[in-house]
Structure 1
Amino acid sequence: MKRVVVTGIGMINSLGLDKESSFKAIVEGQCGIKSISSFDTTEHSVTIAGEITDFDPNTIMNPKEVKKADRFIQLGLAAAKEAMADAKFDAAYEAESFGVSSASGIGGLVVIEKNSVIVNSAGPRKISPFFIPSALINMLGGMVSIEYGLKGPNLSSVTACAAGTHAISDATKTMMTGGAKKMLVVGAEAAICAAGIGGFSSMKALSTRNDDPKHASRPFDAERDGFIMGEGAGSLVLEFYEDAVARGAHIYGEVVGFGESGDASHITSPSLDGPLRAMKAAYEMAGRPKIDYINAHGTSTPANDKNETAAIKEVFGANVPQISSIKGQIGHCLGAAGAIEAVVCLMAMRDEILPPTINLENPDPDCDLDYIPNVARKFRAEYTMSNSFGFGGTNGSVIFKRV
């Protein structure tokens, strides 16, 4: 099958509105987690998140279109625009063979919450006609395809926190099997609202370290007490290697392996078997190369970090790669996490530097690997892996190779 490479990337999160500022802040160990400002948290037990506070959707969309799109779509379109500009398509592309693979775990929760209040307080006739289109997860791919006139396959992954990674593997499979010549991948999430924070909080999934937001998300640390909600988007342009070379495109990396699995175990608690099989499948597909770096799922929850560590040990044995989680810096962006973290893997390869795991001060004895604690590390990685695991027991891993 033909080789699939990445020629454009984009990213937005609580540390930056573009890939360069975001990655620079991540490498420097900065933290974008702070007190929530988008709604009143007075009655909430969790009041902090990785919130994007300086994003104006009118800068990337026609103001008339802004009201038709939930915040997750707006963030996704911002990342997609950066990725498409980065890919530098100077000549016209074949619209019919250029598809979209989008992803979100929850989608338009903000607009769902808003219109639920409206229907109960003012009645059904006051519901916005844009409510349903704004809330639909696949409308992210729909609006991105309209923006660029992309008429190839229009796919959408809705697999909780593994969605962004699955969108990459779905796009790659589509190309490898002849369904498209190019694919634009975009994963986005914006669930920082009263219902989102309240819902995850009621599950006891979130950290309650409200008085110390910069140190609240602590992947692999013994004192971790839950994840922090983040929001943002990541985007990747995929095309065939020979096409990228022919047009002189910059190649960030090649997609050489991906793996997917299901736990069939518990709706929220991870199993060892599921993540292990996803990583192993990606590793085998890539030809069992020396993986230099893993961007871990690393949520800062007691269950995930211990479980992921055990799975990594099982897959790699004595050759465990260097590992880090960026969720201490930007929070857990749910369905966008896999796309954002894939972009980080590619930029780490480009800049020859591995991002740190911040707030790792008291290592958990059950998490005893090299997590690049607190300070970024200069290193030329040839192969990087990104892991994503989601509620419902859905898992995904993807491997990139330097070209």
Structure 2
Amino acid sequence: MNTPKIAITAFSSISPLGNNSDEIWEKYLDKKHCFEKQFLDQQETSVASLDAESKRIIAEIRESDTKYKFLDDSVLFALAASRKAVENAGWKKDDVFGINIGSSRGATDLFEKHYAAYLETGKSQTLSSPTTTLGNISSWIAHDLQSSGPEISHSITCSTALHALLNGVAWLKSGMADKFLVGGSEAPLTDFTIAQMRALKIYSRIDQNADLWPNLAFDFDKSQNTMILGEGAAVCCLEAGEKENAIAYVTGVGYATEILEHNISISAEADCFQKSMKMALRDIDLKSIDAVVMHAPGTIKGDLTELRAIEKVFGLDVPLLTTNKWKIGHTFGASGMLSLELALLMMQYDTFIETPFSEKRNQKKSIKKILVNAVGFGGNAVSILIEKA
């Protein structure tokens, strides 16, 4: 039996870069970061929050339905992105499609507020449980889009969104579905989340007003961890078979998990990434890969181990390498899909986006095949190979 090709027929996101592809591409070209200062965890902290227009869209959605007023931003972000993606793909209300949109942390802000109220009053608010379950995201998207297919939500830490894509591909190839909406959403800019990252000693301490970049993702010689959190959601529409409106095809998928030595450990040469990349690149001429969008969160070990894994897999023919976390920070469960967005845009405009502080590598050929990586706590790596339609 021939397995169908998997087409990406639409993509949409809402993030510090904006909420439409033209605007997002222009921001990638300007080589400026999206970080700002917010007062979190009792001090000024660099974060990447939604731009003003995107915040207006989220506020408008929240006020559009009484039920939406009680939802966490992670749900509303995904709702905004999903509406546009489905519209761009031309899917109709009577179309049957699956939904798998996950999140690393889920309703972080809402959970913290409900718990604070409980500590103050000794009572839990009525909607504290139903509005903070992780299944909220896909369930509310299904409600909003009036879809009738399967609804899946999950958390696989920072590789959540690309695991959603894996699930969508599996459903489509099995013949159990013809269409799947997949992605990730994260709203982690809260006091407790920032405090957790600081406790791990991975959050950036670089003053963004200085001459240095606050997030040095892709700087492999840095002497301190520089991860910064961002927020947003990104989704794509997958369809089985060749499609006239395909913008790219998923031509390889890979996944792997490491045996942990520590709660957040990853091996010196990122064995999980080596395995996931080799699986995604099976039977592919490595010289045909034009670029890799790295996970590269801005930590010393995270960036360097992934680089070593890439060098192990590609040898002397390492493709162009890039990441977007120097610009929009780490969006946890949404990050892999936002990396996929960068890959799709580089294909569309046939232009490589490099990090502004890295050694320049000239683009020598048209960009047609890109590998996208993501990994999370627990060594859950995913690699996705896409090819221009």
The TM-score, its normalising length taken from structure 1, stands at: 0.88
AA paired with 1:160?
Answer: T
AA paired with 2:206?
Answer: R
Contact 1:292/1:382 (8 A) holds in 2: yes
CA deviation after TM superposition for structure 1 residue 156, in Å:
2.2
Which residue pairs with 1:329 in the alignment?
327
Contact 2:93/2:145 (8 A) holds in 1: no
1:42 and 1:320 mapped to 2: Cα distance? 40
Which residue pairs with 1:180 in the alignment?
177
Unaligned stretches of 5+ in structure 2? Answer: none
Deviates more, 1:140-149 or 1:214-223: 214-223
Q: Give the direction of change, closer, same or farther, for the CA distance of 1:319–1:102 in structure 2 (3 Å limit).
A: same
Which residue pairs with 1:299 in the alignment?
297
1:256 and 1:209 mapped to 2: Cα distance? 39
1:338 and 1:180 mapped to 2: Cα distance? 23
Which residue pairs with 1:94 in the alignment?
95
Which residue pairs with 2:25 in the alignment?
23
Which residue pairs with 1:229 in the alignment?
229
CA deviation after TM superposition for structure 1 residue 269, in Å:
2.3
CA deviation after TM superposition for structure 1 residue 379, in Å:
5.5
Which residue pairs with 1:11 in the alignment?
13
AA paired with 2:298?
Answer: S
Which residue pairs with 2:162 in the alignment?
165
Q: Give the direction of change, closer, same or farther, for the CA distance of 1:359–1:74 in structure 2 (3 Å limit).
A: farther
Which residue pairs with 2:75 in the alignment?
73
Q: 1:143 aligns with which of 140, 145, 149?
A: 140
AA paired with 1:317?
Answer: G
Unaligned stretches of 5+ in structure 1? Answer: 364-369
1:161 and 1:218 mapped to 2: Cα distance? 18
Q: Give the direction of change, closer, same or farther, for the CA distance of 1:52–1:168 in structure 2 (3 Å limit).
A: same
Deviates more, 1:101-110 or 1:144-153: 144-153
AA paired with 1:30?
Answer: K
Q: 2:129 aligns with which of 118, 125, 132?
A: 132
Q: 2:272 aligns with which of 274, 281, 285?
A: 274
1:164 and 1:287 mapped to 2: Cα distance? 26
Residues 42-78 of structure 1 show CA distances to partners (whole Å, capped at 9, x for unaligned) of 734x611111252132333524133231011111111
The question of 1:204 aligning with 2:201 is answered yes
The question of 1:386 aligning with 2:372 is answered yes
Which residue pairs with 1:254 in the alignment?
249
CA deviation after TM superposition for structure 1 residue 155, in Å:
1.9
Residues 213-257 of structure 1 show CA distances to partners (whole Å, capped at 9, x for unaligned) of 881111122235221011111110011234x33xxxx21100111
The TM-score, its normalising length taken from structure 2, stands at: 0.91
CA deviation after TM superposition for structure 1 residue 259, in Å:
0.7
Contact 1:11/1:22 (8 A) holds in 2: no
Which residue pairs with 2:86 in the alignment?
84
Which residue pairs with 1:353 in the alignment?
351
CA deviation after TM superposition for structure 1 residue 13, in Å:
1.1
Residues 300-334 of structure 1 show CA distances to partners (whole Å, capped at 9, x for unaligned) of 10001110110001111122110101100000001
Q: 1:315 aligns with which of 308, 313, 316?
A: 313
AA paired with 1:280?
Answer: K
Which residue pairs with 1:155 in the alignment?
152
AA paired with 2:235?
Answer: S
Which residue pairs with 1:284 in the alignment?
282
Describe how 1:103-142 pairs up with structure 2 within 5 A.
Answer: 103-124=102-123, 127-142=124-139
Deviates more, 1:206-215 or 1:10-19: 206-215
Aligned sequence identity (%): 23
Describe how 1:367-386 pairs up with structure 2 within 5 A.
Answer: 380-386=366-372
Which residue pairs with 1:64 in the alignment?
66
Deviates more, 1:210-219 or 1:15-24: 210-219
SS class of match (1:136): coil
CA deviation after TM superposition for structure 1 residue 28, in Å:
2.3
Which residue pairs with 1:367 in the alignment?
none
CA deviation after TM superposition for structure 1 residue 289, in Å:
6.5
1:171 and 1:340 mapped to 2: Cα distance? 17
Contact 1:388/1:397 (8 A) holds in 2: yes
1:254 and 1:139 mapped to 2: Cα distance? 29
Q: Give the direction of change, closer, same or farther, for the CA distance of 1:180–1:153 in structure 2 (3 Å limit).
A: same
CA deviation after TM superposition for structure 1 residue 25, in Å:
0.3
Q: CA RMSD in A?
A: 2.1
Q: Give the direction of change, closer, same or farther, for the CA distance of 1:60–1:311 in structure 2 (3 Å limit).
A: same
Aligned residues: 377
Contact 2:291/2:369 (8 A) holds in 1: yes
Q: Give the direction of change, closer, same or farther, for the CA distance of 1:388–1:305 in structure 2 (3 Å limit).
A: same
Contact 2:7/2:240 (8 A) holds in 1: yes
